[in-house]
Amino acid sequence: MRQRFLVATLVTAGAAFAASPAIVFAADNDGPPDTVTKWTFQPAFDSSDAGWHRGLMPWVKAVEEATEGTVQIRVEPVGALTSGSEAFGAASAGMTDGYAGWATVYGGEMPEGMLAYGMAMGATSSEQAWDAMWGNPDYRIGELVQEAANERNLHWVGWTNQGPNAMFSNFRIEKLEDLKGKKMRAGGPQALFHQAMGGSPVSMDAGDIYTSIKLGAIEGTYWDTGGIADMNFQEVIKYASLPGWNPAQHQEIYVNLDKWNELTPWQREKIEGVFESTYFETSEMHAEAVEDALKALTDAGGEIVEMSEEEVQRMRDKSIEVVWPMVAEQSDRNAEGVKRWTKYFEEHQD
């Protein structure tokens, strides 16, 4: 079945690439400092979200181990210090030390986050996404995101592929015309996609989605496939249409740049050193959750709709024609990123 193929492409082990985002420091590389740095992070979600246990927390553990305990991170759930929509800006301002989430959904002030989040109908696997963003020196799209983050007093330190971002709805979606006029929760780039397909995107915090669907205020939501059981969406939706708007939607982790610069070169090198390994580790964790999540939906009486290759290609063509230019219009770096993504796909056709 095609959903098994989608899962398989995500579960594939992360091969090592020639280049990585790691920074190599020439001096002061002798070992851990004598003092302990303590950070407090607040992501745009709480522990019920798949991004907590299958994204942020494995990275936190890896950082603490890599720095030999000289960097310790306390993670507070969304709402503990600030709201989800304000969490990105709070990390930028130094109110918190770090953030995990999506700079384009809950922190729309950084459009370059769209390049890290994922292009509509873009990369189909973790390997492909990593290759274009960091692995292949001919593209290095991730550097554009890092530059934008640094300008906002943040440093991009972690990334995870949450897998196919399916369309969960109370109506069947077998072709792009089925989205016409439909009200679905969609944020940032999702909203650009949904609108381009003729739908009516609705922005709202994650915690409001379940109730809004149940009450009929919206007819569905875009969500990472492996996370539907965490949100109990199987209780209020009937269909999961794959591959959704994005076969490989991603989530990012940022640390306040001032706090980053206060670390020793050794600590910064160690944290940069787990960027790639935690990317593939957490991406595989998300992929492994996909089949269980889809089973939870079918066990609840729901149905999985696998769009035909022809319809997927129609959505991809329209995305490249309509959605990608809208992403490019957001900033000069976005324009360059879309140019590099376009070149990548032209040169890496299956």
Q: What is the pLDDT of residues 112-125, one digit of tens each?
A: 999 999 999 999 99
DSSP state at residue 62? H
Q: Give the residue numbers spanning the domain of 195.
A: 165-247+290-347
157-215 pLDDT, tens digit per residue, is: 999 999 998 999 999 999 999 999 999 999 888 999 999 999 999 988 888 999 999 99
Q: Would you say residue 180 lies in a domain?
A: yes
| Two structure tokens written together for 56 | 């942020």
Whether residues 156 and 221 fall in one domain:
no
The reported pLDDT for the residue numbered 88 is: 96
- Overall average pLDDT of the 133-155 stretch: 98
Q: Would you say residue 7 lies in a domain?
A: no
Total structural domains in the chain?
A: 2
Whether residues 210 and 86 fall in one domain:
no
Q: For the chain, what's the residue count? A: 350
Q: Would you say residue 27 lies in a domain?
A: no
DSSP state at residue 27? S
Whether residues 85 and 169 fall in one domain:
no
The reported pLDDT for the residue numbered 26 is: 38
Whether residues 337 and 284 fall in one domain:
no
Model confidence band, residue 9 (pLDDT cutoffs 50, 70, 90) = very low
CA–chain centroid gap for 141, Å, is 15
Whether residues 115 and 240 fall in one domain:
no
Q: Rounded to an integer, what distance in angstroms lies between the CA atom of residue 151 and that of residue 109? A: 12
Higher pLDDT: 14 or 102? It is: 102
Q: Rounded to an integer, what distance in angstroms lies between the CA atom of residue 224 and that of residue 289? A: 10
End-to-end CA distance of the chain: 20
Identify the burial level of 204 via C-beta atoms within 10 angstroms of its C-beta, where 0-12 means exposed, 13-18 middle and 19 or more buried: middle
Whether residues 221 and 199 fall in one domain:
yes
Q: Would you say residue 211 lies in a domain?
A: yes
In 67-186, where does DSSP find H-type helix?
87-93, 113-117, 126-130, 142-151
Whether residues 121 and 257 fall in one domain:
yes
pTM, two decimals, is 0.86
Whether residues 103 and 174 fall in one domain:
no
Q: Would you say residue 1 lies in a domain?
A: no
Choose one of 267, 289, 311: the last residue of a domain. 289
List Cβ neighbours of 74 (8 Å cut-off, separation of 6 or more): 38, 39, 40, 41
The reported pLDDT for the residue numbered 48 is: 87
- Overall average pLDDT of the 77-84 stretch: 94
Whether residues 107 and 254 fall in one domain:
yes
Q: Rounded to an integer, what distance in angstroms lies between the CA atom of residue 328 and that of residue 339? A: 8
Q: Rounded to an integer, what distance in angstroms lies between the CA atom of residue 336 and that of residue 342? A: 10
DSSP state at residue 103? T
Contact 166, 223 (CB under 8 A): yes
- Overall average pLDDT of the 105-110 stretch: 79
Whether residues 200 and 69 fall in one domain:
no
Contact 322, 195 (CB under 8 A): no
Whether residues 189 and 308 fall in one domain:
yes
Beta pairing partners, 300: none
Q: Would you say residue 18 lies in a domain?
A: no
- Overall average pLDDT of the 336-350 stretch: 91
Whether residues 151 and 256 fall in one domain:
yes
DSSP state at residue 25? P
- The vertex-166 CA angle with 162 and 170, nearest 5°, equals 145
Q: Would you say residue 296 lies in a domain?
A: yes
Q: Would you say residue 6 lies in a domain?
A: no
**Helix (H) / strand (E) containing 73:** strand 71-75
List Cβ neighbours of 116 (8 Å cut-off, separation of 6 or more): 103, 133, 142, 145, 156, 159, 250, 252
In terms of phi and psi (left: phi > 0; alpha: psi -120 to 50; beta: otherwise), the region of 35 is: beta
CATH assignment at residue 108: 3.40.190.170
The reported pLDDT for the residue numbered 8 is: 40
Identify the burial level of 181 via C-beta atoms within 10 angstroms of its C-beta, where 0-12 means exposed, 13-18 middle and 19 or more buried: exposed
